[in-house]
Structure 1
Amino acid sequence: MIKRASIVSASVALGCIASVAPVLTSIYIAEEDAERRERDDLREFATKAVMRAELVSYQAVAALADMAATPGPPCSPAHLAQLAHVIFNYRYVQDAGAYGGGQYLCSPLLGDVREQHLTMSEPDRRSNDGYLIWYRHKNPLSDARQDIQVGRNGNYVSIDAQSYVDLIDPARRPIAVFSTETNALLALSMDADAADMLHAWKQAANVSSDQWHYATAHSATLPLSVVVKSPRNSLLGNWTGLLGMWLSIGVVVGGLFGWLSFRKISQQLSFPSTLEWAIARKRIDVCFQPIVTLADRECVGAEALVRWKLNGLDISPDIFVAVAEQNGLIQPLTDLVLDKTIDELSTFLRSRPSFYVSINVSSEDLQTSRFLDVLTARLEGTGIRPAQIRIELTERIFINADTTRQTIAAFRKAGHPVYIDDFGTGYSSLSYLQTFTIDVLKIDKSFIDTIAQDAASSIVAPHIIKMAHELGVEILAEGVERDAQVDYLVERGVQYGQGWLFAKAMRSKELIAWLGEPRTQLEPMKQCDDS
């Protein structure tokens, strides 16, 4: 009886150990993986925060450049009206005015104050190229508010310091922006502690804390540095409670948990496996949305778009493309798009040497020359000119700018024009864009929708258009749906557009038939996804 009880007890103990050990091991591994992901995510957030700080600073510099070209005597009605126009054009500029002799002279908000002798304090920094910077400058209109003020050649702009840290972040992670030249705190988010963030910045984010992760990022072109932090989420904070719970539950529940976990993992793996099967058997479709010249609405090219119908249901590209990126399938998917484009349109492309197709390439294929090698080999002997296959990239290339710049240059050297897609939706830095040589900038549909509307984002499209003109690149507007948008874009020198106003995405045979119709009869055809 005792021997049997011992055997039962030993079996129960071994069962409990067998149940508890994998669970605790899994929790520990999950803890390490979660911490790594938290740190990676925080570093990416710091990079985005530095891009925002750069963007705000560049707007101040651009506003001062516009003010320097303002005609008429200072503080005249025409001069003040032009300064008001500058404030309206630059969303982060709160005030723009003139100064001299250490005093404010005038601004649209202050008015003409030359007779009031409003003195200005000494600047905190004088740059070698003539800029004066006040880091915490008391605004003459407020007893409490302190702005960042930038001046040059008798003109100044005021910027709300919160503009530097006003990022859309549901987690509301604290942010601090510092000057790397004077060690001054420029901006601090509402939930941040100045002393804590200053300490983290001085330690280069190497702060030992059980509660917080820290990260820093530095501007490559401006004397700016950013510190961010996020709370640590520990899975093992109550490890004794977890151990007691699993020992009490034992083998049965442990086995049930393992079975449920296996079912859950199997369900998660089924979708990527199905996608891999579809790519291998070329069950992914490619459709083409026309690109037109806005001035005369002539179709000059098309963008290749992936579509997938699974068991009679249309799967959103946002879903299956993301799954492809997460499961190492994005390169085979891109190769499939290229193969189908050439197979279906090679005869047409040879007959229309000026017509082109743009293909979206993932950031993974910008780390090496793999896709360029595939593309070069695929075009050999087809009679298709390299310029007829164009490369579309997203703003995410700026995150790893140094590693992708050479690959982009190689595409262009091989004769493939390069586009930046959905520009303005990420955290692009002008300093990064200036270091790239590209051919076309695509403005995202979200900004085209706000054209001529009273919305905060309606000023983004004009700034992107102006930026593109200054860089000497062509512009393509996405999501054009109204004639008024076309008139607005043409008036500002935008060359190309695509959207439902001209045509929806269609299959290759429908595209060729659509292009063959008389120009006056061209109407948007049935969408590629339609049955």
Structure 2
Amino acid sequence: MTAGPRTWRATARLLTLTIVIASTAIAWVSAETLSTFYVTQRLKDTSADIRSSLRSVSEQIEQALSDMQRFEQLGSECTSGIYAAVSNLVAANRFIYEAAVLLPNGKACTSYGYQLESLAMLQDTQPFSTGNHSYWFSVSNLSGNEGFVAVSQHNSYVWLNDLLVASALDVPNDVTFELVDKNSLDSLFSSSEHQLKHEIPYQADKISVDRQGVHYALPSQWQEILAVVTLPFSAYQTIWWQLFTTAFLSSLAVIGLLTWVAGKIREQRRSFAPKLRRALKYNEFRVNYQPIVNMHTGRWVGVESLIRWHVAGKAISPAIFIPAAEKEGVIGEITHWVIERIAEDYSHYLRACEGLYLTINLSAQEIEDESFPSFVQKTLETHGVPASLIVFEVTEGGLVNLEKATAQLQKLRDQGHRIAVDDFGTGYSSLSYIETLPIDILKIDRSFLTPEKIAANDALWRHVVSMANTLNLTVVAEGIEGTEQSEPLMREGVTFAQGWLYSRDLSPAALKDEFLKLHQECA
């Protein structure tokens, strides 16, 4: 009594563990991929913004130094006029907090209004030169007032306002921007209070990762300096964990949902066999008939039998219960029931309609069952149904063993039945078996006769019709719903069709009434 629950609990634990492991693996891979992509894109976007901001700073420096060129040859003394001009220049440029002009005698006139004997503050720092400019870096970070950044051209010098430059760059709080010496890997210029310790060389326009974080290097205007944007490792981990958590919960929900759905489908399929047998026992199934019509005359020449099933007033599609019946091995019982019901319907309703043939769909199980022809013969004789009025339809899916199928269909044909191939063209081997099987009727699948496809000159259905005519087979077109389908078919010599253009499926009584209205020869 306890073996079942124990087994169920063990299965549930194993399934839960499997779902968690699968979700973790999916989340891990997703977090790695997405975090790398996100961080890379973010650093590149930040670099582009910084590059744009640096251009505006550089343009202001260039303009200021150019304006100061005219002060260099004014004399050997720092006059009040020079002081005022340099001071006004600083006031007009937001990124510059000090400027100086070096006179030919070595004296420096500054924007603060006093004379410097020399520029001693720059002598202890090695400049970086590019073109006509020299740059001095002596900063610990851009957040404080320590150190300086100076730029010179000829004998003109300007010092940058660290805080305003930092504000102009607008570096995100969790990102660090630095100017790094290519040779020593020392940080010359940093937007963070805590300078990073760079350990590996950087390549321009490349992403690199070390213990400090994720780095993206972009070329600077100095040959020996790289501008580096860094997302610290702690920030990267935060992003990774956020993505991992989101991916884990999402995958857990999706896998759990799919598992639940699969379980429900499996449970439903498992329970289909007793439900189907109960439906047979209590006559819950019924058979309707859809007419097969001569498109030229409008006369009905045959009907296809279609099984229907309603449970609690709700229709269950044959596309659901027929595959389930095949899988559960109940399809043979259903086919036997259909044949008996058709024979009864013929006795009560359809005998009055002379010449109207009835088609019955066969599955692989009936084709494999050697006793099936005898059952058919006995049932039809009991109800007085002529064998010539019964057409058996087979699909390519039911032809598992071509040799056995050929022999079985030939037995049915020898009893007086005709054989039709349904849904022709949907499989891969249709053309190879069409000449082998004892076939009388070829039904073109509706998927080849849609309004979009039927008008094409090289449409497949045209080749099927040509082949059928060569083999002297009757062609029936399925799924005809409008004249835009029927007219091209008739022009190509197709005579018979079925579909909603002519009639939906009807009950036996309704079929008889409609047939009597259309065909005066029905008594």
TM-score by structure 2 length?
Answer: 0.48
TM-score by structure 1 length?
Answer: 0.47
Larger Rg: 2
